[in-house]
A and B are shown apart, each in its own frame.
Chain A
Amino acid sequence: MKKLTSSIVGCSALFVFAGCGEQPQTIAAKPGQSAAKVDDKPFGPGTQFADRRAWEVQLKARAENQNEYKRVN
């Protein structure tokens, strides 16, 4: 009888506490905050452009070159 009771208690305990070992599967994303890795900047040490100013000057020149009125005339 004791064995039966202890086995019933053991089984029910196993059943009751089964959920405790479960790992959380929710995503740790917070609204309004990007979870993406940090992206490199296109300027600074190790790049073609010393600073933001140099990079912006290059891009502006390139963008203005799309204006054929200025390019041709």
Chain B
Amino acid sequence: MARMKFICDAERCIECNGCVTACKNEHDVPWGVNRRRVVTLNDGIVGAERSISVACMHCSDAPCQAVCPVNCFYKTEDGVVLHDKDLCIGCGYCFYACPFGAPQFPQAGAFGLRGKMDKCTFCAGGPEKDSSKAEYEKYGRNRLSEGKLPACAEMCSTKALLAGDGDVLSDIYRERVMRRGRGGDLWGHATAYGRPDAKAATPAAQPAPQKS
């Protein structure tokens, strides 16, 4: 049995926001709702900047599921955490419980009235007939039932964001680390922008052209 997970390689993420755009486009996510977003740490500090793509991490022991007063959450056999929008009352408890800020609430009316919660579905739709219009309108496209992985990961140009069975992802990441070394030693920010000790190896500056 598969256990669906995301993993984001901070050494590879270039903050292109391709995953965010892919998700928005794939599911027609409304304005103000961000199922996925890219978070950058140490923004602007050369050598220390790292970006990571964040969405629902489909926790094995999901806190959103634990705090929901109407028990609208459920977990599929493959570990994808989904919810039933017909039951959601938009209380926002899941938003406070989630360590990743995954639950999103569209503005449903004037004075900041909250709508039903919306979050990443691992492109697995929701509790409606697979690939039906109702499922698309409530939860977005169901790629998993088509044998495809989430659009964000498949769209990632540097393959920083990986999705799929946890065991397969572990194998890919392990091989990647074994080949490139730890951190950014062989692949990533340091390779692209130079290591701090690379100044000694830098060729001397060209002499200024003489005036004739």
Contacts and interface: CB of A to CB of B under 8 A. Distances in A.
Interface of A: 27, 29-31, 33-42, 47-49, 55-56, 58-60, 62-64, 66-69
B91 to A, nearest CB: 11
A48 B84 CA distance: 24
Interface of B: 2, 65, 69-77, 82-84, 86-87, 124-130, 142, 144-149, 153-154, 159, 162-165, 168-169, 171-172, 175-176, 179
Contacts of A55: 147
B57 to A, nearest CB: 17
Contacts of B165: 59-60, 63
Overall SS of chain B's interface: mixed
B168 A29 contact: no
Given A40-B129, A40-B130, A34 B168 contact: no
B147 A49 contact: yes
A42 B83 CA distance: 17
Contacts of B84: 35-37
Contact of A68 (B2, B65, B128, B159): B159
A70 to B, nearest CB: 8
Overall SS of chain A's interface: loop
29 contacts: A29-B70, A34-B65, A34-B73, A35-B70, A35-B84, A35-B87, A36-B71, A36-B72, A36-B74, A36-B82, A37-B128, A39-B82, A39-B126, A42-B142, A42-B144, A42-B145, A42-B147, A47-B130, A48-B147, A55-B147, A63-B162, A63-B164, A63-B165, A63-B168, A64-B168, A66-B149, A66-B153, A66-B162, A67-B175
Contacts of A48: 145-147
B77 to A, nearest CB: 8
Nearest to B83: A36
